[in-house]
Chain A
């Protein structure tokens, strides 16, 4: 079992839809949880991060972490064609070891 599993894609939704992206993980030591967005032929860029369990909202984006279930989610409200990209979840253990472990990513397409 990989440390981080992400729902396979691709995912295609109409403009304005609510999108739910999910990841599960096996390492209970993970404390930092992040979502990266990657446009075609570009490097990933940080979209949101959360520390430990809870919710965090930023505009149309909401990140949720449920450490008891080892499950994280990213919700996109009122999705736009500009949201079309690959979304990768990433996680890290606290302390001196700052390496991130990524999910494989899911490609989202928002149809106008």
Chain B
């Protein structure tokens, strides 16, 4: 299994541009999570999906952020327009919540820099 695959690994963009981050979860996992990590705030949950349906998007900072999961093997996180304060590492994670517990498998992250 290749694990959770995120692309791109690094993204540098100018303020005001649209940014799209991509994630391929582990096959068979029915939960997908988008997190943002910064030194100041740590790991923050932005949104998560169960069976491709958004369950909780209360962590999405503002309307500039949107996320989709058109099928079980693909999700996107879009920022439009981007701002310098969006600079962070964005992680995608997936898991399968069984009868007892599930453990997240994280991707390697996308390091976003908005200048």
On A, residues with C-beta under 8 Å from B are 32, 34, 36, 41-46, 49, 51, 88, 92, 96-105
Contact = CB atoms under 8 A, between A and B. Distances in A.
Interface stretch (B13-21, B66-74, B77-85, B100-108): B100-108
A88 B93 contact: no
B28 to A, nearest CB: 15
Nearest to B58: A99
Interface residues of B, number: 26
Contact of B45 (A88, A99, A104, A105): A99
Contacts of A42: 108-109
Contact of A103 (B42, B103, B104): B42
Given A98-B31, A99-B33, A99-B56, A43 B108 contact: yes
Contacts of B95: 98
Q: Which 9 A-B pairs have the closest CB atoms?
A: A43-B106, A104-B42, A102-B43, A46-B103, A98-B97, A44-B106, A32-B101, A43-B108, A43-B91
